[in-house]
Amino acid sequence: MGRKLEDIIADQPQNLVDSAKEIASKQLIHIHLIQLLEHIGTDAGCHIDNCTIDSLQRLKQLVESGGGKLRLHVDLPDGSHHGFKL
């Protein structure tokens, strides 16, 4: 039987694990931003600047270091609400 993902991750150097988590977090932010743009009817194919993703990632880290959670929430004029946890 194969090893569990948690065991494989535990065997890796911590700096590699931290780097992989940061990359995955940025990719998730990008995916969520695209989904949000689709929900609000904006061209989801437009380019989302890496600076935007980096800024949101830094803000997320600051909020989480204080024990909080960061969400991006949009209220549209039609009364619909869209958002996600960063």
Place of tokens 């904006």: 42
- Per domain, the residue ranges of the chain are 3-83
Q: What pLDDT is stored for residue 40 in this prediction?
A: 79
Q: Which residue stretches of the chain have pLDDT < 50?
A: none
Q: What is the pLDDT of residue 70?
A: 93
DSSP E strands in 1-86: the ranges are: 71-75, 81-85
pLDDT at 1: 66
What pLDDT is attached to residue 62? 94
Q: Are the C-beta atoms of 37 and 44 separated by less than 8 Å? A: yes
Task: Give the tokens for residue 51.
Answer: 């600076």
Please state the φ and ψ torsions of residue 6, each to the nearest 5 degrees: -60, -40
Q: Structure pTM?
A: 0.77
Amino acid at the residue 79: G
